[in-house]
């Protein structure tokens, strides 16, 4: 190979490097508030797992499917959009002795590290800090990438869909009222759709008058102390 040929080949490689590096950069996605929802389940006096959902989350995801370790996630969840299926129960959950939605209307999760699951290209553990009820504590999510492709409907945005699960102790976040009625362990299930270059930087969607949704006169702030005279649950 002539010296000129070798120089030309080296120059071509050098010119290609910036394009390759650019192609490897993570893409930026924003969470679709309609198709992103947090579901939670918690024991109701041992009779059942009470189920609620929160819609309207907002946040940003930096993600490269080929390099999960470089992913970064920040999301805010508007607790005042909590729905337990009953208006009075919603207010009770947002009252000052529980979630205190008036003072703490948002929960916030910021990732710190992402560990891919060995042998499963579409699974990873995402660990970071959850801020809830004014307390920040570590939380790890088990995350599955469901699909990453162009959405089949107009305007055909590139979309990433995820499912995630986690468990937390409500007492760890200072939410410890009604221990005899409400369990401590909270099971989380999250379904999320993130759209490339859309919804980035948006604020959480809230309802008019929310918390506001936390009542001015909260439900009883202490749990029953006399088993013979239990305090009533919110009326139906």
Over residues 108-126, the pLDDT tens digits come to: 999 999 999 999 999 999 9
Examine the pLDDT at 7 and tell me if it is beyond 60.
no
Helical (H) or strand (E) element with 13:
helix 3-23
Whether 43 contacts 183, CB under 8 Å: yes
Report how far apart, in Å, the C-alpha atoms of 75 and of each of 32, 33, 204 are: 11, 11, 9
Examine the pLDDT at 150 and tell me if it is beyond 50.
yes
Examine the pLDDT at 214 and tell me if it is beyond 60.
no
Examine the pLDDT at 53 and tell me if it is beyond 80.
yes
* Mean pLDDT over the full length of the chain: 85
DSSP 163-218: EEEEEEESGGGT--S-TTTEEEEEEEEEEEEEEETSSTTPPPP--TTTTSSS-SSP
Over range 20-36, report the average pLDDT. 81
Over range 5-25, report the average pLDDT. 50
Whether 52 contacts 84, CB under 8 Å: yes
Q: Rounded to an integer, what distance in angstroms lies between the CA atom of residue 204 and that of residue 201? A: 10
Check residue 19 and give its pLDDT. Answer: 46
Whether 194 contacts 30, CB under 8 Å: yes
Examine the pLDDT at 10 and tell me if it is beyond 60.
no
Q: Buried b vs exposed e over 96-124: b needs ≥16 C-beta within 10 Å?
A: bbbbbbbebbbbbbebeebeeeeeeeebb
Q: Among 18-27, 75-84, 173-182, whose mean pLDDT is lowest? A: 18-27
Considering the entire predicted model, what is its pTM?
A: 0.81
Three-point CA angle 120, 123, 128, nearest 5°: 140
Query: Which residues are CB-contacts of 41 (< 8 A; sequence separation ≥ 6)?
Result: 49, 50, 51, 52, 186, 187, 189
Examine the pLDDT at 217 and tell me if it is beyond 90.
no
Q: Rounded to an integer, what distance in angstroms lies between the CA atom of residue 67 and that of residue 85? A: 40
Higher-pLDDT residue of 235 and 208 is: 235
Check residue 90 and give its pLDDT. Answer: 97
Over range 5-24, report the average pLDDT. 48
Q: What phi and psi, each to the nearest 5 degrees, are found at residue 33? A: -65, -20
The Cβ of residue 159 has, within 10 Å, a number of other Cβ atoms equal to 20
Q: Among 17-21, 72-76, 115-119, 232-236, whose mean pLDDT is lowest? A: 17-21
Check residue 205 and give its pLDDT. Answer: 81
Whether 101 contacts 79, CB under 8 Å: yes
| pLDDT band of 206, cuts 50, 70, 90 | confident
Local structure of 5: helix, strand or coil: helix
Higher-pLDDT residue of 64 and 212 is: 64
Over range 217-224, report the average pLDDT. 41
Examine the pLDDT at 220 and tell me if it is beyond 50.
no
| pLDDT band of 208, cuts 50, 70, 90 | very low
Query: Which residues are CB-contacts of 17 (< 8 A; sequence separation ≥ 6)?
Result: none
């Amino acid at each position: 190979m002539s010296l000129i040929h070798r120089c030309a080949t080296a120059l071509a490689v050098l010119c290609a490097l910036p394009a390759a590096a650019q192609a490897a950069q993570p893409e930026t996605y924003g969470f679709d508030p309609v198709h992103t929802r947090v579901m939670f389940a918690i024991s109701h006096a041992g009779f059942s797992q009470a189920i609620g959902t929160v819609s309207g989350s907002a946040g940003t995801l930096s993600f490269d499917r080929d390099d999960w370790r470089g992913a970064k996630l920040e999301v805010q969840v508007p607790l005042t959009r909590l729905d337990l299926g009953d208006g009075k129960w919603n207010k009770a959950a947002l009252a000052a002795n529980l979630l205190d939605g008036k003072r703490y209307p948002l929960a916030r999760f910021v990732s710190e590290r992402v560990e891919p699951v060995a042998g499963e290209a579409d699974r990873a553990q995402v660990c970071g800090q959850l801020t809830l009820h004014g307390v920040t504590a570590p939380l790890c999510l088990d995350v599955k990438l469901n699909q990453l492709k162009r959405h089949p409907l107009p305007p055909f945005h590139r979309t990433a869909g995820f499912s995630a699960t986690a468990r937390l102790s409500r007492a760890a976040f200072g939410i410890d009222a009604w221990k005899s009625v409400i369990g401590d362990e909270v099971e989380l299930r999250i379904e999320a759709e993130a759209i490339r270059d859309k919804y980035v930087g948006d604020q959480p969607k809230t309802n008019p008058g929310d918390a506001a949704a936390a009542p001015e006169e909260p439900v009883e702030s202490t749990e029953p102390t006399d088993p013979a005279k239990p305090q009533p649950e919110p009326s139906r």
